[in-house]
Amino acid sequence: MNLSLVVPCYNEEGNVKNLIEKCEKFLSNQKHELILVNNGSTDNTEKKIDEFLNIPNIKKVNVNSNKGFGYGVLQGLLAASGDILSYTHADNQTDPNDVLKGLELLKDKNNSNFLIKGNRINKIKYNWTLFELFVSYAMTIFETILFQKLLYDIHGQPVIFHKNFLKIWKSSPNDMTLDLYVYYLAVINKYKIIRFPVKFDKKNRLTGRGNTDALTKIFKEMILQIISSIILRFNIK
């Protein structure tokens, strides 16, 4: 299997070096390409990525202006050449080694109708606030009712699937609702859904755009996700 791992980077200049080193360490025995998407960054993220382009299996995709997490992921996936596609965050809160752990769960190598997705565990242990926990579980209930399917830990990473799955994406959202879109699309198309436990440790974040956990920011993101989810529900094919 050839793996393409897509990582969108928005103002992650302080994380790029650590991210690449971890990815190359854990993926050294797996045939892969690492696609780093400079997702409209306004800092030196692109320059930091450029420093590592001499490594043969590292590719850069440049998005001139930020249009959202989902847009950045999609641009990276469209540039991928692997049979197995995956995406995750750039901010060190997720572990690149989880991609390999997820792949090990794929028993039927000939089956392309699957979605492997991390399920974040022990959230209090890994520095989640009570309000963040409330929002996470509240959104699980809301999305499940809205879409009439059991959908939990929607933003769990990494996300892993066969390249054929990408062919049925129609008008995928540009924002964080991409995680919901991908999850729901796999469910309604009766793909095999494989969830596995991962750590999502907020203290591991080094620097970057999303480093603030203010209640107002979390609340705002929740409202935006509710609105985006409702729009998605009535537009998804």
pLDDT band, very low/low/confident/very high, at 108 (cuts 50, 70, 90): confident
For residue 170, with 0-12 CB atoms within 10 Å meaning exposed, 13-18 middle and 19 or more buried, which class applies?
exposed
Is pLDDT at 93 greater than 80 in this prediction?
no
For residue 26, the model assigns a pLDDT of 80
For residue 211, the model assigns a pLDDT of 42
Q: What is the mean pLDDT of residues 157-175?
A: 94
Structure tokens at 101: 């752990």
Q: Prior bond to 158 cis, omega within 30?
A: yes
- First-residue to last-residue Cα distance in the chain: 29
pTM for this prediction: 0.87
Is pLDDT at 123 greater than 90 in this prediction?
no
pLDDT, tens digit (0-9, with 9 covering 90-100), for 128-145: 778 778 888 888 898 999
Q: Please, what are the domains in the chain? A: 3-233 (3.90.550.10)
Q: What is the mean pLDDT of residues 24-34?
A: 86
